[in-house]
Amino acid sequence: QVQLVQSGAAVKKPGSSVKVSCKASGDTFSNYAINWVRQAPGQGLEWMGGIMPVFRTTNYAQKFQGRVTITADDSTSTAYMELRSLRSEDTAVYYCARDEITTGPRFFDYWGPGTLVTVSS
């Protein structure tokens, strides 16, 4: 069955970077985009950006432009999200979620379990 497996929790210092991975299995990696959504403690869902590995294209929310990079490795069906210049407000659970690349309606049908990133001095 489809699974998205994310890397483990991380504790980072302000100003540093974090790279979270998301390994997909159970379906054809190239048929899907991988998106990154974060959720700060007690807050709502915030879309950060996504990648379509088959086209090598990325899109980022304006809020994170210049501070986030999303990449993918087809050979391992793994997507990565790197966030730089971390600050305390970046403390959140980071989810990956897939959506099928189609001309029809798009939606996030499978999600990873989330990776808690804590930014603290």
Partner 1 sequence: DIQMTQSPSSLSASVGDRVTITCRASESISSYLNWYQQKPGKAPKLLIYAASSLQGGVPSRFSGSGSGTDFTLTISSLQPEDFATYYCQQSYNSQMYSFGQGTNLEIK
Residue 84 touches partner 1, criterion: CB under 8 A = no
Backbone angles phi, psi at 64, to 5 degrees: -105, 0
Which is closer to partner 1, CB of 80 or CB of 108? 108
Task: Identify the CA nearest to 120 among candidates 84, 81, 89.
Answer: 89
- Note whether 97 and 37 are within 8 A (CB): yes
Q: How far is the CB of 47 from partner 1 (least distance, A)?
A: 4
Residue 61 in contact with partner 1, rule: CB under 8 A: yes
Least distance from partner 1 to the Cβ atom of residue 36, Å? 11
Please give the distance of CA 86 from its chain centroid, rounded to a whole number: 16
In angstroms, what is the minimal distance from the CB of 115 to partner 1? 11
